[in-house]
Structure formats: C-alpha cells, structure tokens
Chain A
Amino acid sequence: MMSSDDILKTIEMIQIENLDVRAVTLGINLTGCADGDRARLLRNVRTAIHAAAGRLVTVCDAVADEYGIPIVNKRLAVSPVSMLLEAHDAALCLPLARVLDEAAGEVGIDLIGGYTALVQKGFSVGERLLIDSIPEALSSTSRVCSSVNVASTKAGINMDAVRIMGRQIKALAEAAREQDGFAAAKLCVFANIPEDNPFMAGAYHGAGEPGNVVNIGVSGPGVIKCALERLIQTGDVDLGRIAEEIKRTSFRVTRVGELMGREVARRLGIAFGVVDLSLAPTPRIGDSVGEILQTMGIAAIGAPGSTAAVALLNDAVKKGGLFASSSVGGLSGAFIPVCEDQALSHAAGAGALSLEKLEAMTSVCSVGLDMVVIPGDTPADAIAGIIADEMAIGVINQKTTAVRLIPVPGKGVGDLAVFGGLFGQGHILPVRNPGASDQFVQFGGRIPAPLQSLRN
C-alpha cells in the first residue's frame, strides 16, 4: 500500500526536481545495407532507418503521456558507419553522412550517432576513410554524431589515431568557426567505448547488440540534489548517509527509466537493451551535477576534495541503479560535461576548475573530459596529448573515458563560447605547456596493452 508521503515525494521529483527519461535511443544495425553500388547503399540506409524508427517518436510521446513523465530526447544509434565504407572510396562519405542526417530528420530525430570507427589496434580502409571525412561530414550536417575509439584495456592506445584525432578535432572546430567551433561538440574520442551507450554524442550500435534495440538514458541530477538538501536540513548527516541517500534516489530514478523503456520497446516490438543510469546534466538551473557537488559541501568545484566527492557520487549512483534494474549498461555514472552544466561552467569561468583538476575528476567519473572549451590556437599535437592522457586513465583503470574538446576558433583563455540549447556555454580554459610534449605524441605507434589486459 502506498503512503501519501511516497506519492507526494514522487510527484515532487517529476514536477519540481526535473525527473525525466533523458533519452530513448534506438540502436539500428545497418550492416545489412552494405552494397557495392553507392546509390543502392544510400537507399538501403534510408529505408532501414525509416523501417526501424518510423514510429519511435509517436510511441515515445504516447508512453510519456500515459505515464505523465517526459521523454526528453529520442535518438538513433547506428552500427559503425565505417563498416559501410570498406568497399568504397572517399566519395561515399559525405553522401552517407547526409543520408543519415536527412533520414533522422524525416523520422523526427534530432541526433543520430554511429559515424564511428573502432581503431584501437589499427585502421581498416573504411575506418581511415571515415576519420578523414569527419570535419566535412560533421560540419555539413546538423544531426550526425561521431565517435572514434582509439584505445582499450585489451589493445592499448593507438597513438597514431590519437594524433590524427587531435588534428581532426581542430579541423572540425575550424570548419564551424562561425558557431564557436560547435561541430566539435558532436565528436567524442573514446577509450573502452561501450556498445550500448544511449547518450550522445558517443552513442553507437555495437557489434554484440541485437539487430535493433531500445536503450534508455535516465538522468535526474536535480532529484539527487533535492534529496541531499532535505537530508542535510535534518542536521543528522555524514558522508555515509549522503552516499545512502544518493543510492536510494538513484534506485527511484532508474526504476522510472526501466518501466518506461520496456514499455517503449514492447510497443515498438524491439528488444529492450539497457538502462544507462547516468547523471547527465543540462544547462538548466536545478539540473546540474556541479550543484550536487556544491550541496555535498564543495563550494568551489575544483577545490581539494572535488575528486573524492565525484567518486562518492559516481559509486553511489551505480549501486542504487544496479539494485533497481538487472539491465544496467552504457556509462552509468556521473557526467561532468563542463559547458552543459551551469555550475561546472561557472566554476571553470571563475578559475576554480582547471583542465588538470577536471582530468583528475574524470578518473572517477563515468566518462571524461567532456564539453571542455580550449583556445582555438591550441596546437593539434597538444590536443592529441590531452587525448592520450585521458585514454591512459581509461585503459589502466579498465573504464570508459572520452574526450569532447572544442578548440574555439579565434578565441582565447577566458573568452566565452556559446553553443545554446542543451550544449550550453563556457569560458575557455587554458592548456598549459602546449608544444612541450609534441615529441612524445609524434613518436606514434601503439602504447602496449597494460598488465590489466591479461585477465584470462
């Protein structure tokens, strides 16, 4: 029997604290679309997307109406597009990106992930074609998102790929100079990329996934912040109790995602994959991971203690979610995307949060250096160095790490870069000692897989 208290608390979570289903992401396997004939291949891709996702938005809206909880984003994640390029040449890249973009738009979707290459051990023909095409493909489309996995615990770090990605990020930002380099916000460089992550820009449909699959991203930083505020007001609190409260709240949030995700999957007649219980902030006040850290007593995010606070948060979120669902996957933890989180963005602008401290925090959060704006004149090899550091954290700690950096063309340290919408804005952080690690990056080759890779 439910108590009034349970009912009112749940309603408060939905109406005041921004509890929602952040993303329903439909994974679509496009490998069957491969064809030696370019026109036929493009037609196959469009048809496959329409067939799988034609009803996605309608069904999501109906389920959201029925349950009275918003499903904020409906997205698509396709199998790595590089696979479709294997038997082709560079001339296919742009038309293919455009077909993805158009088909997503035709089914009412705002972002489609999967312009992806997995190159941790080396490049295939298609992967190299795809990576080379990223600046043009992403700057000339609005919905296509790209990810490149350059490292894994099993393979080590492909430093040739890291160096290329440093150049491509810079070229991509430059191609979108008028929008403060925004196109680079649609590209993630990964270590240990998950095959079932529903969150953009890093979502793609992995080789181990079913034909098509529905993955769910829940969020709810506002819910956790409010729960902690209520707990702290009681005065009887220590960090153990804070962790416990986060865990319980994460349980509730995950449950909502699981319930609604399974219903969406059932109505679409598509397999249900995972609930990713990440705390994904938006620039809205009250929907911020940074605010949770502030509620936990870190007044200036980036101050000593910040990494420990993120570690506590990330771990407690996972524990609560794991108990709530047997289908937890994706990234499942706390995101710290600087521009997309008003408290983190403010801390960076105020000088409290440096790139180096962010890097430390990413060793215990669920992703990595995310939505960080850096000076437009940062050398490509310095960007590659930042990527290499972040990849090393992921490889050694057997976790996913990612880099989504935007070198803002024509702007320098302290300037404001504005992307708008969910992508937010941020003050440009300094990159210290650019050029001082170029030789290391330029050696190229592969950093061998670490000891942790030998687990069999």
Chain B
Amino acid sequence: MSADRPRYVITVLARDRTAIIADVTGSLYELDANLDALSQTVVWGWFTMIVCASYPPGTTADQIRETVEQSCDCTATVLPFGDDTPIAPSSPVAGEPLVATVVGEDRPGIVCRLTRCLADRGINIDDVWNEVHEGRFVVIFRLTVPRSIDTKALRYELRQAAEPLGVHITLQHQDIFTATNSLSVHTPRPKGRTP
C-alpha cells in the first residue's frame, strides 16, 4: 500500500464465538483498510486479536474503534502505528533461540518470578503460553538469549529460581525441538546469521 496511508495497530478482546474474525475484519474492510499483519489466540474462551492495518488518509483512531466495537460485542483499542516503529523483528534482542519449559503444581507467582529472572539478564520472551498437560501445570517460554550469556550458568540460575516455587524448569536450545519435530534441522534464524 502507498506510504501516505496511515497505519494503526488494533487490539480486540471478546468472548470467543464462531465468525468473530469475519465480523472484525469486515468492520476494518468497511473503512477500506488493508491488513498488514494479524495474529489471534484464545485463552479459556476469551478471544484476542492484534491487527496492523493501513487506512485511507483522514481515518481516525476513534472511527476505527467505534466501527470494530459495533461489529461484535468486544473491547477494541486503536493506536497509531508510529512512523519510527521498526517493522518485523520478532525479538528486540539478538541471540540464540532457547525454550524454557516449566512443569509443576500451579501456584501464584511462578510466571512473575521466572520472567523477572529472565528480564534481569536481558533475555527477551518471544512467546509464552501455559496449559494443564496430563494434570501438570506447564508454562513454555520461547526466548532469545544474548550470546554473551552462558547457557549452562543460566540453566543453573533458573533451576535455583524455580526450586522454591516447587516447579522444575528445563532450558533447551530451540533447534533440538525443531530437529526432532519438523523436517528442518535448524530453527530459521533472521537473515545474515548462520546457526
């Protein structure tokens, strides 16, 4: 799309139901939007979606929010994308893709304390999700760990942090999961970097 079309980032939160994506994207199309990027997920019956879209000049954030909220029973937030926002990188830091898996009894504070431990070391969480798997509470973090961090030491520190919480944490290179579960041996890296 042409550069003079303003771009917005839109989030939608609603009870999940059939046709919700059709309704929301229909409301965007109504204002002649072009979808640039989209992602959605459902957590315990709650639907959430984040969309980047560009609009005809003059379209305002309030206009977009009202149209979206009228299309379905949802709460929408609309912000200008910002001219200086870089497009694309999935992780704001460079490093190796690792996966931390936490397994144990559910209790308050697990995610908060472990994520603080990661944040203090400059490790970015690219993705996180949790579920109950065969009766166990499981949280999985996809991380980008700066190369300056020693994996062995990090593994030890995370285990120390996890122990008082009554959970077990495993830190593996993402390539191991890619190699054993997909047709590729390596996890795709950003261009210019060889694994």
Which of chain A's residues have a CB closer than 8 A to the CB of B155? 65, 68
Cβ-defined contact, A11 with B179, below 8 A: no
Closest chain B residue to A67 by CB distance? B173
Per-position binary interface string of chain A over residues 222-261, scored 1 when its CB falls under 8 Å from any chain B CB and 0 otherwise: 0000000000000000000000000000011001101100
Tell me whether A28 is interfacial, beta carbon within 8 Å.
no
Within 8 A of A (CB), among B143-195: 151-152, 155, 170-173, 175-182, 185-186
Closest to A11 in B: B170
Tally of contact residues, B, Cβ under 8 A: 26
A454 within 8 A of B: no
Residue B101 at the chain A interface, CB threshold 8 Å? yes
Q: Are A10 and B177 in contact (CB under 8 A)?
A: yes
**Chain B residue nearest in CB terms to A249:** B180
Centre residue among A6, A13, A68, A69 by max chain B CB count within 10 A: A68
Do B138 and A252 touch (CB < 8 A)?
no
Asked if A10 meets B181 with Cβ closer than 8 Å, knowing A65-B151, A67-B176, A68-B176, the reply is yes
A10 to B173, CA, bound (A): 12
Q: How far is the CB of B7 from chain A (nearest CB, A)?
A: 26
- Report whether over half of chain A's contact residues are helix, strand or loop; otherwise say mixed: helix
Q: In the complex, what distance in Å separates the CA atom of A99 from the CA atom of B133?
A: 55
A-B contact count (CB 8 A): 72
Contact residues in B for A255 (Cβ distance below 8 Å): 179-180, 185
Tell me the smallest distance from the CB of A95 to a CB of chain B, in Å. Answer: 40
Note all chain A residues with C-beta closer than 8 A to B99: 2, 7
Contacts of B96 in A (CB 8 A): 66
**Residue A66 contacts which of B173, B180, B185 (CB distance < 8 angstroms)?**
B173
Q: Does B9 contact A (CB under 8 A)?
A: no
Nearest residue, chain A, Cβ from B176: A67
Q: Please determine whether B171 and A11 come into contact, CB atoms closer than 8 angstroms.
A: no
Contact of A456 with B by CB under 8 A: no
- Which residues on the A side are within 8 Å of B170 (C-beta)? 11, 15, 68
- Asked whether any CB of chain B lies closer than 8 Å to the CB of A4, the reply is yes
Q: How far is the CB of A216 from chain B (nearest CB, A)?
A: 13
Interfacial chain A residues near B180, Cβ < 8 Å: 6, 10, 13, 251-252, 255-256
Per the 8 Å Cβ criterion, residues 1-31 of A in contact with B are 2, 4-8, 10-11, 13-15
Known contacts A15-B170, A68-B170; A7/B177 CB under 8 A: yes
Q: Mark A153-194, 1 if CB is under 8 A from B, else 0.
A: 000000000000000000000000000000000000000000
Among A8, A15, A256, which residue has its beta carbon within 8 angstroms of that of B179?
A256
- Our pick among B131, B176, B186 for the contact of A69 (Cβ within 8 Å) is B176
Residues of B close to A13: CB separation below 8 A: 180
Please measure, in the bound complex, the distance between the C-alpha atom of A315 and the C-alpha atom of B131, giving whole angstroms. 38
CA distance in complex: A6, B96 (Å): 20
B-side residues, CB < 8 A to A, are 96, 99, 101, 103, 129, 131, 133, 138, 140, 151-152, 155, 170-173, 175-182, 185-186
Give 15 A-B contacts (CB < 8 Å), ordered by A residue. A2-B99, A2-B177, A4-B140, A7-B177, A8-B133, A10-B172, A65-B152, A66-B173, A252-B180, A255-B185, A256-B176, A256-B180, A258-B179, A258-B185, A259-B186
Given contacts A15-B170, A65-B151, 18 further A-B contacts (CB under 8 A): A2-B99, A2-B177, A4-B140, A6-B180, A10-B180, A13-B180, A14-B176, A66-B152, A67-B175, A68-B155, A68-B176, A252-B180, A252-B181, A255-B180, A258-B179, A258-B185, A259-B175, A259-B185
